[in-house]
Amino acid sequence: AEVELGFNFKVKNGWHIYETQQDPELGIPLQLVVQGAGVEISQELSSATEPTVHLERIGDMKLKYLFMEGEFTYTAKIKFGDEVPSDFALALKWQTCDDSSCLPVETKVFDNSQFGALTTAGGSGNNGGLPTDFWKFILAAIAAGLATLVTPCVFPMLPVTISYFTKRAEAGKGTPLGNATAYAGGIVFTFAGIGVGAALLLGPEGANMIGSNPWVNLSIGVLFLVLGISLLGFFEIQPPKFLANFASKKQADGVKQAGYLPVTLMAIAFSITAFTCTVGFVGAVFVLGLKMGLVYLIGGMFVYGLTFALPFFFLALFPSRMQAMPNAGSWMNMVKICAGFIELVAALKFFSNSDLFWDWQILTWPVFLSASAIITLLWAVYMLGAYKLPYDYEKPKPTVKRVLFAGLLLYFVVGMFQGVADRDHKYPGAVLAFLPPADYGMNEFNEYGHKMGAAHLSWIESYEDAFKWAAEHNTPLFIDFTGVTCVNCRRMEYEIFPDDLVRPLLQQFTRGELWVDKPPHGKFNTALQIERFQQIAQPFYAIIDPRNDKTLITFPGYDPDPQKFSEFLQAGLDAYNKK
């Protein structure tokens, strides 16, 4: 498939960037770099806006500068196979100058989540190109929608709403199918509308900022903390009074008026009045979608609304099925409370992202695991009936199911405390990706002042220092491009680097750990990865010969097979020793 991409620029008055055809000896031209298996640029960057030509003469030399000023758009086309690869990403690089000086070169990286289902140049969509994590997110949105249905604000309304549909049909105010469709459509419209509205308000640029900004991660952590405490029953988050009044009026109108519009408005009103119960679930879908990309946000909110609406739709068509539904009871509060504990643990991850970026060293490996274990322990003893929460009239009775579930939670607690005592404790890859680096906050250094890190080896975080050390000590240079929020980077560091096949080989290198998304070297490391290796995503590994600054071999991305990684390292050593 072939895809056309467009990039809008707005350069401040008095400043310019250099056009793509600019001689790089005179100015750094605008450049596009793409990454992904089978992805290639089929049409280079071009613009309908002509550059401003500036000519200078120095002696006998004629110098030609091509300036792009004001507002303009560049387009390019890329080709790929039947599906957009999950590692697809691209980057733009440019330099902004005025008549007397230039700013540092800027690089803007876009990942797959910001493009989602790409549209081909001919106008047809490629619906097979969404990455695996998109579908995982959609499944999470479905789970959130199902959980919302069994909350105290929603579940008791199912028979009431179905009875209302039946009475409307008997009174000649629409058919059961029409009423059900209008009501379900109103619910979907409400939640999908929130997603689309946020997407239009933020745009791709805003979503990209949210994905990596430490302040935004901190804010999301606070939001999850508030939502979690709310779901536990310590306070309720209510909609604004004017919305509540609007909802009450529309619900009353929906009972009296004919036609399907009042039914749709009634559904929107119900979505508002159920806010107290839905906010903890839809809020999680919203903030996670916002962080992952606009396609995730819109898709997640739509699917959440659809999942929420479908039971109303089908039960309106088949009201006799209501008899098979369980009775309302304390189990509905249990659903909210369990979700509350989950959101408290999730908040730690976002706090950890900010902590890593600013290098506060507060949420270190043992602190993170201890906090998670304490929250999970409180959850377990609650399930055993040790205490009650504000939603409860009395302490929960430890039924067989609750005791079994509490036992599972206590099993997790034991595993977490084992990790606190032993940073080398083996966890599944999905768990490792959730945790901060095991060495974070240890501040251990070898005799040369190099920081100890992954696989209990020393690492140098400055490329220049690592290159200099490798050259002085006659060793090949192993480069690890990593990131604060890179989950696969953590998996490589914990699962692959310490492996018996890999660690002995890593010991024969000077090891550089280059963080691309945190100070002080983040911008330099990002530019280095793009300019030298034409790669964008992390993790990415390279072996360099410091004697001539040549790249010997590279290893792109996460691979769970230590044998493959050891072969890569051995090939690098062999290439170095041959020269």
d(CA 12, CA 148): 48
Domain 451-577's class?
alpha beta
Going from N- to C-terminal start, the domains of the chain cover 2-114, 132-329, 336-425, 451-577
Q: Which among 183, 188, 1 has a CA at the least distance from the CA of 82?
A: 1
pLDDT at residue 404, rounded to an integer: 95
**C-beta separation of 294 from 199 below 8 A:** yes
Q: Is the pLDDT of residue 328 over 80?
A: no
* 370-383 per-position pLDDT tens digit: 999 999 999 999 99
Q: Pick the residue with more confidence: 322 or 510?
A: 510
Q: How confident is the model at residue 461 (pLDDT cuts 50, 70, 90)?
A: very high
Q: What share of the chain is helix, strand, coil (3-state, %, to 5)?
A: 50, 15, 30
Among the ranges given (125-139, 444-458, 481-495, 497-511), the one the predictor scored with the smallest mean pLDDT: 125-139
Average pLDDT, the chain: 81
| Among the listed residues 39, 8, 6, the one whose alpha carbon sits nearest the alpha carbon of residue 129 | 39
Residue among 549, 568, 546 nearest 557 (CA): 568
CATH code that applies to domain 2-114: 2.60.40.1250
Has residue 325 got a pLDDT over 70?
no
Let me know if the fold of 2-114 is the same as that of 451-577: no
Determine phi and psi for 436, rounding to 5 degrees.
-70, 165
- Other Cβ atoms less than 10 A from the Cβ of 146: the count is 16
The span from the first CA to the last CA of the chain, in angstroms, equals 43
Label residue 446 exposed, middle or buried (CB < 10 Å: 0-12, 13-18, 19+).
Answer: exposed
